[in-house]
C-alpha cells in the first residue's frame, strides 16, 4: 500500500524549490577507510584518541536529562569561556559546531548576490554554505607556498563583499597567516565587512608569528573568531564550537542559531573537556610531534610539504592526486583528495602514521 502511495506521489507536480538549490552540492564526508576501521580514516582531521574516561562519565550523567531541552544559551559554558579569555559573556556564542557558526555568519550578513570572500583551497564548507544562502563566492587562490595571499584578497573586496573567512591555520594546507600580514590586511578591510578568523586548529599552532584572533578581536570591531571542540578536544561527534565577537555580531549569531541545536550532553562534555585540558593538550603535543616526524619523512621521499600548524599535512601532488588517493584507499587508508591540487592527510598515532608512510613511499617511488 505504502509503496503504491509513494509511487503515485512521484507523478504529482514538482515541488517548488528555490532555483539556486539546483547547484548546491551535497556535502561529501571524509571517505571511510577501505576496511571500515576508524583508525585508518585519515580524511576528516578527527582526533584519533578516544574520549577521556572523565569526559565519558560526564556524558553518561548528562544523558539522564535528555527528556528536557538543553539550556539554549549554554550559559555555564559561555561564562567559563568568557572568564578564561577575558571577555564579557555577551561576546561569546556557542554553536552546533563552528561550521554552524560559519553558516550563521553567512545568513546574518548576505542577501542573494552578495559576496563572501575566502582563499582557495580552503575549508570546503565555505562554498557550500555561501551557495546555500544564494550568495556568491569570491575565491582567491593561495600563493605558491600554499598560504593565504592576503594582498590579493584585499584587492578582491568589492562593494558587495559582506563577509571574509580567513582560515588560520588553513584547511587543507596547514599554513598560517602571520600577525603582521593579518594586521595589514585588516587595515585594508572596510569596517562594515566582517572578517571571520576560523581557528578550528589553533591548539595545534606552535609558530609564534602566527596571528592570534583573540588579540586582533580586542582592537578590531569587525573581527569574529571561530573555534571548536571538534579537533583538539576530540568532541567532533557531539557538535559544539564557539565564537568570540563584539556585541552586535554576537547578537546576530544568537538570532540566526537554530534553537536548542547544542545538546546538554555537548555542553557538559565541553565543560568537562576544559576541566581535563592538561590531559587533552598532552595528546595535542603528541600529535604535533608526529606531525613533524611524518612531514620530515615524507620530505625525504622527495615531496615538499608546506609547514603545517594543524593536525594534518598537505601533499601538493597536482596531477598525481587521484592516483595517490586511490593507492591509499586500496591499501585500506582513506585520505582527502582535492582534485588536481593535492591530498590532505590527518596525523594519527605512530603505528598508523608508519602504515601511511609505507603506503605513500611505494607510490612516490613508482611515480
Binding residues (CB under 6 A) for ligand PLP: these are 45, 97-99, 123, 167, 171, 198, 200, 228, 230-231, 236, 241
Nearest approach, Cβ of residue 209 and ligand PLP (Å): 20
Q: Which is nearer to ligand PLP, 213 or 241 (CB)?
A: 241
Backbone phi, then psi, for 203, in 5-degree steps?
A: -65, -15
CA dist 116 → 113, 128, 234 (Å): 10, 11, 29
Q: Which is nearer to ligand PLP, 266 or 364 (CB)?
A: 266
| Residue 132, all three cell numbers | 546555500
* Residue 10, Cβ density class (10 Å: 0-12 exposed, 13-18 middle, ≥19 buried): exposed
Nearest approach, Cβ of residue 298 and ligand PLP (Å): 21
Q: Which is nearer to ligand PLP, 116 or 200 (CB)?
A: 200
Do 198 and 245 touch, CB atoms closer than 8 A? Answer: no
- Contact residues for 102 (Cβ-Cβ < 8 A; gap 6+): 123, 125, 126, 129, 165, 196, 198, 226
Q: Which is nearer to ligand PLP, 203 or 320 (CB)?
A: 203
Q: What is the Cα–Cα distance from 348 to 49, expressed in whole angstroms?
A: 9
Nearest approach, Cβ of residue 312 and ligand PLP (Å): 9
Do 231 and 47 touch, CB atoms closer than 8 A? Answer: yes
Nearest approach, Cβ of residue 96 and ligand PLP (Å): 8
Nearest approach, Cβ of residue 216 and ligand PLP (Å): 17
Q: What is the Cα–Cα distance from 26 to 124, expressed in whole angstroms?
A: 11
Q: Which is nearer to ligand PLP, 39 or 236 (CB)?
A: 236
Q: Which is nearer to ligand PLP, 175 or 230 (CB)?
A: 230
Task: Find cell 588517493 and name the residue.
Answer: 325
Nearest approach, Cβ of residue 98 and ligand PLP (Å): 4
CA dist 7 → 11, 13, 14, 17 (Å): 7, 13, 14, 21
The closest residue (CB) to ligand PLP is 97
* Residue 110, Cβ density class (10 Å: 0-12 exposed, 13-18 middle, ≥19 buried): buried
Instruction: Tell whether omega for the bond before 270 is within 30 degrees of 0, i.e. cis.
Output: no
Nearest approach, Cβ of residue 366 and ligand PLP (Å): 31
Nearest approach, Cβ of residue 367 and ligand PLP (Å): 28
Nearest approach, Cβ of residue 266 and ligand PLP (Å): 11
Neighbouring CB atoms inside 10 A of 356's CB total: 24
Q: What is the Cα–Cα distance from 174 to 298, expressed in whole angstroms?
A: 15
Q: Which is nearer to ligand PLP, 229 or 324 (CB)?
A: 229
Q: Which is nearer to ligand PLP, 117 or 200 (CB)?
A: 200
Q: Which is nearer to ligand PLP, 45 or 264 (CB)?
A: 45
Do 108 and 253 touch, CB atoms closer than 8 A? Answer: yes
Amino acid at each position: 500500500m505504502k509503496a503504491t502511495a509513494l509511487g503515485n506521489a512521484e507523478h504529482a507536480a514538482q515541488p517548488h524549490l528555490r532555483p539556486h538549490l539546483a547547484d548546491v552540492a551535497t556535502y561529501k564526508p571524509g571517505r571511510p577507510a577501505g576496511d571500515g576501521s576508524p583508525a585508518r580514516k585519515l580524511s576528516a582531521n578527527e582526533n584519533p584518541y578516544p574520549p577521556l574516561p572523565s569526559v565519558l562519565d560526564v556524558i553518561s550523567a548528562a544523558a539522564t536529562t535528555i527528556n528536557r531541552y538543553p539550556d539554549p544559551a549554554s550559559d555555564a559554558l559561555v561564562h567559563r569561556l568568557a572568564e578564561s579569555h577575558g571577555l564579557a559573556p555577551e561576546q561569546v556564542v556557542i554553536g552546533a559546531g563552528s561550521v554552524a557558526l560559519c553558516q550563521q555568519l553567512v545568513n546574518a550578513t548576505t542577501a542573494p548576490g552578495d559576496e563572501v570572500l575566502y582563499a582557495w583551497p580552503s575549508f570546503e564548507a565555505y562554498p557550500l554554505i555561501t551557495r546555500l544562502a544564494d550568495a556568491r563566492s569570491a575565491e582567491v587562490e593561495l600563493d605558491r607556498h600554499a598560504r593565504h595571499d592576503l594582498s590579493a584578497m584585499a584587492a578582491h573586496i568589492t562593494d558587495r563583499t559582506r563577509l571574509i573567512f580567513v582560515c588560520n591555520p588553513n584547511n587543507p594546507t596547514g599554513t598560517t597567516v602571520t600577525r603582521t600580514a593579518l594586521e595589514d590586511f585588516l587595515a585594508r578591510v572596510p569596517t562594515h565587512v566582517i572578517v571571520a578568523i576560523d581557528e578550528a586548529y589553533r591548539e595545534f599552532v606552535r609558530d609564534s608569528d602566527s596571528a592570534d584572533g583573540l588579540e586582533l578581536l580586542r582592537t578590531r570591531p569587525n573581527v569574529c573568531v571561530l573555534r571548536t571542540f571538534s579537533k583538539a578536544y576530540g568532541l567532533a561527534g557531539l557538535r559544539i564550537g564557539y565564537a568570540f565577537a563584539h556585541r552586535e555580531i554576537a547578537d546576530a549569531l544568537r538570532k540566526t542559531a537554530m534553537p536548542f541545536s547544542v545538546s546538554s550532553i555537548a555542553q557538559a562534555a565541553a565543560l568537562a573537556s576544559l576541566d581535563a585540558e592538561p590531559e587533552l593538550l598532552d595528546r595535542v603535543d603528541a600529535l604535533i610531534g608526529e606531525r613533524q616526524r611524518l612531514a620530515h619523512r615524507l620530505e625525504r621521499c622527495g615531496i615538499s610539504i608546506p609547514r603545517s600548524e594543524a593536525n594534518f599535512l598537505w601533499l601538493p601532488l597536482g596531477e598525481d592526486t587521484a592516483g595517490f588517493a586511490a593507492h591509499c584507499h586500496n591499501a585500506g587508508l582513506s585520505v582527502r583528495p582535492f582534485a588536481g591540487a593535492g591530498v590532505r592527510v590527518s596525523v594519527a598515532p605512530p603505528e598508523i602514521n608508519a602504515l601511511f608512510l609505507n603506503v605513500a613511499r611505494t607510490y612516490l617511488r613508482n611515480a
